[in-house]
Chains A and B, each alone.
Chain A
């Protein structure tokens, strides 16, 4: 029996989060198969085949999988499931959508956003917005889970393994893809960036003007608090926190962020946290390694200028 990992890719290469999920899959000490689905995914499959720890790549290439729907991904994984003891993916929006559907079709529990695999069916996962770490043991024969990518190292490359093709099934009759919009950005991806700069509501309409130069200087991704997103200063997919993206970069700079529990849930595993806030009593200072009590409209440009001058 083996572990099946559902891969995510951008059409060219496998995402870092999937490489981190492969490391998590190593906990079972059994062969790891990586399933790559999409349309025109030969390059991606080749990238997948070179990841250390993977022993086989299953390529599923079909026009209907250009924008994979959860209904179709779940049907495919259900078909592959009998050969596996574990089905696993990084806890992305796509996996959060598809894997519970697979688990229900297989009549097994699902374990979401695992941060530690302590034994083959025992997991630690955060609950209550990260205020509680819960250890659970699954009694099911087949394990279906998502892992928090940032809790695991990314697998690197080694000699390529074989790629096998698998036919896609007919598309689900009850759902169809209509369209997609993507936020265009030349910044690194939020979930895997080495540096993240997050802005809160005080930035108002100057959100981009203040944060972009610093982000460019540090090659950082930009994040936002729920308040900043709700107020329309930043798009929703930049939200960091319990209900947004969870990040754990080497450097996290929070500008005008008060530090609500729901926000801390998404960033408190960052290596170094910097807080810039006018309010010396803001909760963010309780988790910040370096706090600067200052007006962010002066401090952030000054920090940018100081780094440019180097």
Chain B
């Protein structure tokens, strides 16, 4: 079975984003970029499914400018067999991304598609569910465990107040929660090897998909700073301050 993994290039999770002086957007010029952490978990899970003999080929795909090649190299270094860059200059939003991924699914015919549950830049958490809808497939969002057997993927999902297990006919779409696995470290020789592998490039414009943004970004702003308060000397002072603030009886 072939598995398709979608990965996104985002501002590294350790970086505090800056906003452009005119408030039009986040300024990502010269900022350290990395593979979205949830997508790294998705790649890791594909590798584990291959190591268990369930999956025969792992294809990683990303959508964006040529700069996104670095996250594909990262996926290759982790162990992906093949990578595809869907080149696009458009401002990408989840619906457009889902439609473009659907075109790749039609071409590649994977048995399973794994994505991260959300990207840490837009925090939308939509793309996997949207892709699943477009494929009319079953969806296993926020997965913390995946078992594939007898043409079904059994997925344990993290939900409010516990977990839920669903069984999905293949092909299905799954989005990875933090709990799914611990991604492996990329070894330097693998990274060097990944640099030599070829990246298949498809021009998104050639796919005949309407991926134009539906949301207009009007403004980006910093939230109001929360003022630091005071340090109290001991528990007794803390209790009296909390009583003054009216938050304890």
Interface residues of A (CB under 8 A from B): 67, 69-71, 74, 92-94, 96-105, 107-113, 122, 125-140, 172-183, 189, 191, 195, 218, 226, 230, 236-237, 242-243, 245, 250-251, 261-262, 268, 271-274, 280, 285-294, 299, 302-303, 306-307, 310
Within residues 203 to 249 of chain B, which ones have a CB less than 8 A from any CB in chain A?
Answer: 213-223, 226, 228-232, 234-236, 238-239, 241-242, 245, 247-249
- Out of B120, B169, B215, B223, name the residue touching A174 (CB < 8 Å): B169
Q: Are A286 and B228 in contact (CB under 8 A)?
A: yes
A218 to B105, CA, bound (A): 52
Pick the interface stretch among B54-62, B157-165, B189-197: B157-165
Cα–Cα, bound, A271→B229 (Å): 12
A104 adjacent to B134 (CB under 8 Å): yes
Chain B: which residue is nearest A125 at the CB level?
A: B123
Q: List 14 A-B contacts (CB under 8 A).
A: A71-B138, A93-B160, A96-B141, A110-B95, A131-B222, A173-B169, A175-B166, A176-B166, A195-B247, A250-B247, A285-B228, A290-B230, A292-B238, A299-B235
* Complex partner residue of B232 from A179, A182, A291, CB under 8 angstroms: A291
A296 vs B13: C-alpha distance in the bound complex, in angstroms?
29
**Total chain B interface residues with beta-carbon distance under 8 A:** 80
When the two chains form their complex, are residues B220 and A70 in contact, meaning their CB atoms are under 8 A apart?
Answer: no
Known A-B contacts A288-B228, A291-B232, A306-B236; the reply to A104 vs B133 at CB < 8 A is yes
Q: With A and B bound together, what is the CA distance between A288 and B245 in angstroms? A: 13
The 6 A-B pairs with the shortest beta carbon distances in the complex, nearest first, are: A175-B138, A109-B214, A289-B229, A104-B130, A100-B129, A100-B126
Does B93 count as interface, using CB distance less than 8 angstroms?
Answer: yes
Is B123's CB under 8 angstroms from A128's CB? yes
Nearest CB in chain A to that of B249: its residue: A310
- Chain B residue numbers with a CB within 8 Å of A128 are 11, 17, 26, 120-121, 123
B65 at the binding interface (Cβ < 8 Å): no
The minimal Cβ–Cβ distance linking A7 to chain B, given in whole angstroms, is 14
Question: What string of 1s and 0s marks CB contacts (under 8 Å) between B137-172 and chain A?
Answer: 111011010000000001001111111111111001
B131 contacts which chain A residues (CB < 8 A)? 104
Known: A101-B129, A104-B134, A262-B13. A182 touches B162 (CB 8 A): yes
Closest partner residue, chain A, to B226 (CB atom): A287
Contact across chains for B95 and A126 when beta carbons are under 8 A apart: no
The answer to whether A172 and B138 have CB atoms under 8 Å apart is yes
